[in-house]
Structure 1
Amino acid sequence: MSEPWALHPDRALPADPATRPVAREIYAATRDLPLVSMHGHVDVTVFSRDEPFGDPAQLLVVPDHYVTRMLVSQGETLQRLGLGDMAETDPRAIWRRFCAGWKHFRGTPTRFWLEHELVQILGVTQRPSAETADAIYDQIAARLAEPAFRPRALLDRFGIEVIATTDPAWAPLDEHAALAADGYGDRVLPTFRPDPLLRLDRPGWRDDVARLAGASGVEVTSYTTYLEALRTQRARFAAAGARATDHGHPFADTTPLEDVEARRVFDAALAGTVTAAEARAFGGHMVFQMAAMSAEDGLVLQLHHGVVRDHANGPYNAFGPDLGYDIPVVAEFTHALRPLLGAFGHHPGFRMIVFTVDEDVYSRELAPLAGVYPSLKLGAPWWFLDAPDAMRRFREATTETAGFSNLAGFVDDTRGFCSIPARHDLARRVDAGYLARLVAEHRLELDEAVEIAVDLAYRHALAAYERAGVAQ
């Protein structure tokens, strides 16, 4: 009989025998720290309803576009993985397809997260395969039925000190109010996401504006009332505990328009005559306006840019957005952020965190920008860069220019609740390895490396998301 599946305690630590013992010591200082998960996409209803997770497929496969995109690249279809109108409805069949495709995840960060979830959290003792799929399914299903695996119980088990959801700008925040009534108001926080409202040529834009009007109580009939409705909702989010806004804008441009031009373009959008060029210019203008509002209310502005969303038209039309066909492109920030940073880069009431998937731009543009503008922090590598080697490259690309103090700490950016501890664990291991090398090269003392590791894993994330002028 083969040995039970177990994970090596030194996984993702340096192979070099001179640095590995130092990395172990640094990692030991961060391994059990609380988790700060301030940029994620776990639905708030997971916590407000606190219901058992449905089944292994719904927990680990269907909602995770990292998983589904890899399987689709190997010939599976989104329907066979449980998505769309004609979706597979048998969760065991979906799980079997996932297990049969386990080998395709070798070498990917998804493999690291899934291993952690399966072994460390769910107690699985066999590697996934076509042969073991049913036995693993039954084992996980039994575990998910236990009260200890309800979402709120897992907050404690995972050591999550605070987690932020991402909510549309028109959200009524009823679920967050219910959580606050149950004593979770300081632990599960909303995040204001206005993206659909800032893209005037987006299908359904006027319907979304109507939702904003309904939620805010402000009748949106003009550019002025549009801004008023956004401010009203931001205030409601802040009152509900929000610390940040989130902007996945297609362009990083932040050039403001003259008021008269902004009014004209907004009126054209209401009339259905806005052009693509006008909508793009208005989008950049509104990111600037969001910064101006952040300088007023203290909400941290998060901007992530550098992908073409929904690259494949067929799957987008059939299944909707955010199912894995988002492909990185070259990003530019030096010119794009100049108007915003010129106005607010030194403003004491403004904070901004920038994310991207373009590795080159971190060393070329973002680290130098963060190394001089006090309002700007660098977010952790986003998406494809949250892998061990890419994480190391990020540290090497940014530290020499921005240092460690201009980083926002680790941000997990996930929809998969159970992957949160796995992602944080990987980041802490990689940082321990990077810092151990600096110690071995006598560029840091060990006590400094331990202090930095704790900063990156915990303290920086808390500090980066403090609302300006509001003590947490």
Structure 2
Amino acid sequence: MTAFMDQDFLLTTDVARKLYHEVAADLPVIDYHSHLQQGEIAERKTFRNIAELWLGGDHYKWRLMRTAGVPEEYCTGDRSDKEKFLAFCKVLPLAIGNPIYHWSHLELRRIFGIDLVINEKNAEAIWEQANAKLAGMDTWTFLEQAKVEIACTTDDPADDLLQHAEIAQSALKTRVLPAYRPDKAMRINNPGFEQYVARLSDVAGVKIDSFTSLIAALANRVEYFHARGGRISDHAIDIPLPTVAATADQLDGLFAKRMRGELLGDLEQAQYLRGLLEAIGGVYAKYDWTMCFHIGAMRNNNQRMLETLGPDTGFDSISDMTTSNGLVALLSALDSRKQLPKTMLFNLNPAMNEVLSTMIGNFQDGSVAGKVQFGPAWWFNDHKLGNLNQILAFGNHSVLGIFVGMVTDSRSFASYPRHDYFRRLVCRQLGEWVASGEYPEDYDALATIVRGICYENAKNYFKL
């Protein structure tokens, strides 16, 4: 019987074990999409205890705890940090098969060197040992300990990025770069849109009185980000895009309608979003950026809890919306004008694996390996089966050796062991192919693939 999460965890063949231990394990990390806060890095934030590190803001764990019957007061409420931590440890053993079970143990071992099983019996000992280690750690410690070479944050176009400048001038070994996420400009019906436009106008120095001038302001901020190391944008596509683009006059009309205080209908929102993505995509191409689309989230579904706790608190799920026709139309329109930037497609609905892994082949042009990429398993897909299925779909329909690999997509500085989890699964799958006679036992070729997926491809693709 295999020991619980031993050194060969998830590695099912001799080839997998050799590839992981000799090639993948010690490679640096390029985390090209995360939600780490630049301010917490700049100020070298410390954590008062493991509960703040693990449970503060982690909607994955809150969701698990609620599902296991833990009252909200132990998740986001006013119970003490220790009470919250003990509640988590008590229910985690019930979550067999959940990636949080594996991630938590990997974090405990790799960050703190604690080999205890997380349960109610060991909770007190874990609390004491982890907190003793945390007393000498800060955000820099987590980045450098995990060998994070590059970490990209997620930043609004109107952000001044001044703390990024502080970080760049500091002694931190990790390069921390901004990534451009214009959600507030995209979500035209959200409350405060008019106020956001006014702020963006001031920051960009562009009078925004039309859709055209909105794009000019966003382009101005792309240039600003580019000068400060930004090379990646990120966009949430949570509604189906139309197959037919709105005209310039129609887009100006939609923008004017919203600025008058009127809300747009569903089709009008989709037309506006398609127009914005098409326009800003051309800007990204000019700067040789990568445009990332995160597709298929159904967000903030519990209205009562949204009003109580706010967004991003664990009440999201997978959408089964149909996006393929509108997405292809958008990519094709950009391609026809030779303005399609490098693009990554992340899907939340696993039923779209084959849709997107075949779609990327439509827009390769030989200018760069994998110009259009099928992104790694994301959010509700980021588990053992989800990662393996993404790898299989990529391999079945594309060239797996050019895949740019894993991201944390996380707000937690403790989440970097997820890269280790992913690397073990990559090596596992390659080893399975060799063991079944589907690929030769050519370690040079296999090592090239592993180094590429786990590190080198991202470095080359994003030009970081």
Q: Normalising by structure 1, what TM-score? A: 0.90
The offset of 1:185, in angstroms, is 9.6
Separation in 2, partners of 1:413, 1:121:
19
Separation in 2, partners of 1:410, 1:283:
27
Q: Which residue of 2 aligns with 1:376?
A: 372
The offset of 1:459, in angstroms, is 1.4
The answer to which of 179-188 and 265-274 deviates more is: 179-188
Q: Which residue of 1 aligns with 2:39?
A: 45
Separation in 1, partners of 2:339, 2:265:
35
Is 1:306 the counterpart of 2:296 in the alignment? yes
Separation in 2, partners of 1:205, 1:184:
36
The offset of 1:280, in angstroms, is 2.5
What secondary structure, in the 3-state scheme, does the structure 1 residue paired with 2:150 have? Answer: strand
Is 1:9 the counterpart of 2:10 in the alignment? no
* 8 Å CA contact retained: 1:300, 1:353: yes
The offset of 1:126, in angstroms, is 2.8
Q: Which residue of 2 aligns with 1:267?
A: 256
The answer to which of 311-320 and 391-400 deviates more is: 391-400
Q: Which residue of 2 aligns with 1:17?
A: none
The amino acid of 1:264's aligned partner reads: G
Q: Which residues of 2 match residues 133-212 of structure 1 at below 5 A? A: 133-146=123-136, 149-182=137-170, 187-212=175-200
* 8 Å CA contact retained: 2:215, 2:276: no
The offset of 1:141, in angstroms, is 1.5
What secondary structure, in the 3-state scheme, does the structure 1 residue paired with 2:15 have? Answer: helix
Q: Which residue of 1 aligns with 2:15?
A: 22
The answer to which of 348-357 and 230-239 deviates more is: 348-357
Is 1:456 the counterpart of 2:447 in the alignment? no
Separation in 2, partners of 1:373, 1:354:
12
Size of the aligned set, in residue pairs, is: 450
- Unaligned 5+ segments in structure 2 are 365-370
Q: Which residue of 1 aligns with 2:239?
A: 251
The offset of 1:431, in angstroms, is 0.8
Is 1:64 the counterpart of 2:58 in the alignment? yes
The amino acid of 2:431's aligned partner reads: A
Q: Which residue of 2 aligns with 1:469?
A: none
Separation in 2, partners of 1:367, 1:181:
40
* 8 Å CA contact retained: 2:348, 2:379: yes
The amino acid of 1:387's aligned partner reads: H
Separation in 1, partners of 2:72, 2:281:
38
Q: Which residue of 2 aligns with 1:351?
A: 342
The offset of 1:77, in angstroms, is 3.5
Separation in 1, partners of 2:428, 2:164:
38
The offset of 1:339, in angstroms, is 2.4
Alpha-carbon spacing, 1:125–1:423, altered in 2? closer, same or farther (3 Å): closer
Q: Which residue of 2 aligns with 1:232?
A: 220
What secondary structure, in the 3-state scheme, does the structure 1 residue paired with 2:114 have? Answer: coil
Alpha-carbon spacing, 1:125–1:102, altered in 2? closer, same or farther (3 Å): same
* 8 Å CA contact retained: 2:144, 2:173: no
What secondary structure, in the 3-state scheme, does the structure 1 residue paired with 2:414 have? Answer: helix
* 8 Å CA contact retained: 1:377, 1:464: no
The amino acid of 2:460's aligned partner reads: A
Q: Which residue of 1 aligns with 2:367?
A: none
The offset of 1:217, in angstroms, is 2.7
Separation in 2, partners of 1:54, 1:211:
35
* 8 Å CA contact retained: 1:71, 1:98: yes
Is 1:432 the counterpart of 2:420 in the alignment? no
Q: Which residues of 2 match residues 264-303 of structure 1 at below 5 A? A: 264-277=253-266, 278-303=268-293
What secondary structure, in the 3-state scheme, does the structure 2 residue paired with 1:282 have? Answer: helix
The offset of 1:455, in angstroms, is 1.1
RMSD of equivalent CA atoms: 2.0
Q: Which residues of 2 match residues 45-124 of structure 1 at below 5 A? A: 45-81=39-75, 83=76, 87-88=77-78, 90-124=80-114
- Unaligned 5+ segments in structure 1 are 15-19, 467-471
Q: Which residue of 2 aligns with 1:423?
A: 418
The offset of 1:390, in angstroms, is 1.9
Separation in 2, partners of 1:13, 1:197:
44
* 8 Å CA contact retained: 1:378, 1:406: no
The offset of 1:54, in angstroms, is 2.6
* 8 Å CA contact retained: 1:192, 1:245: yes
What secondary structure, in the 3-state scheme, does the structure 2 residue paired with 1:119 have? Answer: helix
Residue 36 of structure 1, aligned match among 14, 30, 34: 30
Alpha-carbon spacing, 1:221–1:432, altered in 2? closer, same or farther (3 Å): same
What secondary structure, in the 3-state scheme, does the structure 2 residue paired with 1:279 have? Answer: helix
The answer to which of 196-205 and 157-166 deviates more is: 196-205
What secondary structure, in the 3-state scheme, does the structure 1 residue paired with 2:395 have? Answer: helix
Q: Normalising by structure 2, what TM-score? A: 0.92
Separation in 1, partners of 2:9, 2:240:
37
What secondary structure, in the 3-state scheme, does the structure 2 residue paired with 1:192 have? Answer: coil
The offset of 1:328, in angstroms, is 0.3
Alpha-carbon spacing, 1:43–1:385, altered in 2? closer, same or farther (3 Å): same
Separation in 2, partners of 1:287, 1:348:
12
Alpha-carbon spacing, 1:201–1:407, altered in 2? closer, same or farther (3 Å): same
* 8 Å CA contact retained: 1:166, 1:192: yes
The offset of 1:394, in angstroms, is 1.7
Alpha-carbon spacing, 1:26–1:332, altered in 2? closer, same or farther (3 Å): farther
What secondary structure, in the 3-state scheme, does the structure 2 residue paired with 1:167 have? Answer: coil
Alpha-carbon spacing, 1:379–1:442, altered in 2? closer, same or farther (3 Å): same
Separation in 2, partners of 1:33, 1:267:
51
Give % identity: 25
The offset of 1:372, in angstroms, is 3.4
Residue 323 of structure 1, aligned match among 305, 313, 330: 313
The offset of 1:221, in angstroms, is 2.6
What secondary structure, in the 3-state scheme, does the structure 1 residue paired with 2:404 have? Answer: coil
